[in-house]
């Protein structure tokens, strides 16, 4: 996504004076000095705000004001042409004062400068064990206008932001003082500790942390001698991020991050380490959802073989590999192999995890889908009814796994000619998917396609045409025109067009 950059131009002198006066009073006797001050600060709003904060706190000392107008200590920083000299000057004065009186505050600013400059959540900056100490540490940064609270809160946490030029100035100071790598490593560690697993319930937290994760991950080089601890922290973030991106339908981004996670874990931990195998499993799922079935099969076969050896045949990780390999077989049309895998998986999950565990429900759902593909509609309906009933109870009616059961039961109803029941299911699935996942999520667009196909089967060509058009354009955009789901959607649409106008296709 490209972001439009809005340039903030220097202010006119009168406007700059007015901004200065909002921070502290300027009387007639000091107006000349105030004009000189804003001129030296190049009429830049950020520089004026920071200078005013400094003067407000130390106005009783005339020496401080003189230093502000003629600071020689910022010489090295001024060589960075990306930051205006006026900002460097005012930032340096504030930073040095805080460093003398509250070193912990400048450490906090250093850490914050490693993340995306907006929406920095409080839990990324401290572990929550001493909120009063954190408040005391961040207070000088806010007082000097180096950081500020953002309006509104997300995931129950306070968010902070800093100006782009404050971030640049801080990072440049850290670089000149040989501290940049230290804080990059600390930031990577902090994100690795708190980035959630990417499951549905954690999506709000993942959304907040995503830009900060991308920022700190970009700091890791590809050097062969890279710090192993840094690589593992990077990979820990990447595995969870990949699963989150997969879950919200951003498959291309998920594949890139997931591949990196797998490669780094292989390098540091070895190919048969359980953590490595977990990353292989996720990567296989990402490949499968994009229609890369041969590559996905190779990943899941590798994962299953190693898991049986390292974990044992009934370990949940091994059974997950059995399940995922069965799902790839289904996509490839190998229904007997798929059924055997899913029966094995379901039997062990019921025994080890219980009949209401979400993983057991996934196996029920998957076995039902294989039954449907084989034309065993009664068995398929029984599986999907069971899965839906328990999913609504355990996961809730808006959980993505529950929606999958709604969709699949609708598909079985369609195959049985129960069109009213099928339409009710598909409309319910679409409505909730639009609300929970968004109108451009691949699963939402698949629901659009399924409803279109149902209306098509009922000869409601007008209603189906509208939905096919939406599904085709959306799937082409988010999955690509070579994806099997896009091809199937357009194949069904073309089939309907031939039914509507047979003479044009003879």
**Tens digits of residue pLDDT in 97-132:** 899 999 999 999 999 999 999 999 999 998 776 788
Q: What is the pLDDT of residue 85?
A: 62
Q: In a 3-state reduction of DSSP, which class is residue 148?
A: strand
Q: What is the 3-state secondary structure (H, E, C) of 28-92?
A: HHHHHHHHHHHHHCCCCHHHHHHHHHHHHHHCCCHHHHHHHHCCCCCHHHHCCCCCCHHHHHHHH
Q: Which long-range contacts (CB under 8 A, 24 or more apart) does 135-138 make?
A: 137/102, 137/104, 137/105, 137/108, 138/105, 138/108
Taking a C-beta distance cutoff of 8 angstroms, is the pair 59, 17 a contact? no
Burial of 292 per CB tally in 10 Å (0-12, 13-18, 19+): middle
| Distance, C-alpha 369 to centroid of its chain | 30
How far apart CA 199 and CA 191 sit, in angstroms, is: 17
Q: What is the pLDDT of residue 24?
A: 67
Nearest to 231 by CA among 274, 196, 262: 262
332, two tokens: 């490839």
Q: In a 3-state reduction of DSSP, which class is residue 346?
A: helix
Taking a C-beta distance cutoff of 8 angstroms, is the pair 314, 305 a contact? no
Taking a C-beta distance cutoff of 8 angstroms, is the pair 335, 370 a contact? yes
Q: What is the pLDDT of residue 14?
A: 78
* Sign of the Cα pseudo-torsion (318, 324, 330, 332, in order): negative
Q: What is the pLDDT of residue 77?
A: 46
Interval 263-276: pLDDT, tens: 999 999 999 999 99
330, two tokens: 């289904």
Beta pairing class for 120-121 and 148-149:
unpaired
How far apart CA 355 and CA 340 sit, in angstroms, is: 19
Taking a C-beta distance cutoff of 8 angstroms, is the pair 390, 401 a contact? no
Q: What is the pLDDT of residue 75?
A: 45
Termini Cα distance of the chain: 45
Taking a C-beta distance cutoff of 8 angstroms, is the pair 330, 339 a contact? no
pLDDT in tens, the chain (506 residues): 444 444 445 677 777 777 777 766 766 666 777 777 767 666 666 677 767 776 665 554 444 444 443 444 444 444 444 555 666 667 787 888 899 999 999 999 999 999 999 999 999 998 776 788 999 999 999 988 889 998 656 667 789 999 887 898 899 899 989 999 999 999 999 999 999 999 999 999 999 999 999 999 998 766 555 789 999 999 999 999 999 999 999 999 999 999 999 999 999 999 999 999 999 999 999 999 999 999 999 999 999 999 999 999 999 999 999 999 999 999 999 999 999 999 999 999 999 999 999 999 999 999 999 999 999 999 999 999 999 999 999 999 999 999 999 999 999 999 999 999 999 999 999 999 999 999 999 999 999 999 999 999 999 999 999 999 999 999 999 999 999 999 999 999 999 999 998 877 65
Of the CA atoms within 13 Å of residue 164, those in its CB half-sphere come to 8
Please report where in the chains the tokens 């000095």 appear, as a residue. Answer: 33
User: Alpha carbon of 306 to those of 150, 239, 301: distances in Å?
Assistant: 48, 19, 9
Q: C-alpha angle 485/491/496, rounded to 5°?
A: 130
């Amino acid at each position: 996504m490209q972001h439009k950059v809005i340039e903030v131009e220097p202010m006119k002198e009168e406007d700059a004076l007015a901004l200065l006066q909002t921070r502290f009073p300027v009387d007639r006797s000091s107006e000349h000095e105030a004009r000189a001050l804003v001129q030296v600060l190049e009429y830049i709003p950020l520089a004026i705000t920071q200078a005013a904060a400094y003067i407000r706190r130390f106005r009783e000392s005339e020496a401080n004001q003189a230093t502000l107008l003629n600071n020689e200590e910022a010489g090295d920083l001024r060589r960075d042409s990306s930051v205006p000299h006026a900002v460097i000057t005012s930032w340096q004065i504030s930073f040095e004062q805080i460093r003398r009186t509250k070193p912990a505050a400048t450490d906090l600013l250093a850490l914050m400068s490693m993340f995306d400059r907006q929406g920095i959540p409080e839990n990324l900056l401290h572990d929550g064990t001493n909120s009063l100490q954190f408040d005391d540490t961040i207070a000088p940064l806010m007082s000097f206008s180096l950081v500020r609270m953002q309006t509104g809160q997300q995931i129950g946490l306070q968010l902070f932001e800093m100006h782009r030029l404050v971030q640049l100035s801080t990072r440049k100071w850290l670089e000149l003082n040989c501290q940049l790598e230290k804080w990059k490593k600390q930031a990577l560690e902090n994100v690795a500790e708190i980035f959630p697993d990417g499951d549905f319930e954690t999506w709000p937290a993942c959304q907040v942390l995503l830009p900060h994760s991308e920022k700190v991950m970009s700091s890791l080089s590809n050097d062969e001698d890279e710090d192993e601890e840094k690589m593992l922290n990077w990979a820990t973030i990447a595995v969870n991020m990949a699963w989150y991106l997969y879950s919200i339908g951003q498959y291309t981004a998920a594949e890139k991050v997931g591949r990196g996670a797998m490669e780094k874990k292989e390098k540091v931990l070895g190919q048969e380490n359980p953590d490595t195998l977990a990353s292989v499993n996720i990567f296989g799922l990402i490949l499968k959802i994009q229609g890369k079935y041969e590559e996905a099969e190779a990943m899941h076969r590798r994962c299953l073989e190693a898991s049986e050896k390292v974990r044992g045949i009934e370990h949940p990780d091994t059974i997950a590999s059995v399940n995922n390999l069965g799902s790839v077989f289904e996509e490839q049309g190998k229904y007997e192999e798929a059924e055997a895998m899913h029966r094995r998986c379901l039997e062990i999950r019921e025994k080890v995890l219980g009949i209401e565990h979400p993983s057991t429900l996934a196996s029920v759902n998957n076995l039902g889908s294989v039954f449907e593909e084989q034309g065993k509609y009664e068995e398929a309906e029984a599986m999907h009814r069971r899965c839906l009933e328990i999913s609504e109870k355990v996961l809730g009616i808006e959980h993505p796994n529950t929606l999958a059961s709604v969709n699949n039961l609708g598909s079985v109803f369609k195959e049985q000619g129960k069109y009213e029941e099928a339409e009710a299911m598909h409309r319910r699935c679409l409505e909730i998917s639009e609300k929970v996942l968004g109108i451009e999520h691949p699963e939402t667009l698949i629901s659009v396609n399924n409803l279109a196909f149902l209306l098509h089967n009922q000869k409601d060509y007008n209603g189906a045409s509208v939905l096919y058009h939406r599904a085709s354009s959306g799937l082409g955009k988010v999955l690509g025109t070579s994806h099997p789901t896009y091809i199937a959607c357009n194949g069904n649409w073309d089939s309907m067009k031939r039914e509507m106008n047979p003479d044009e296709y003879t």
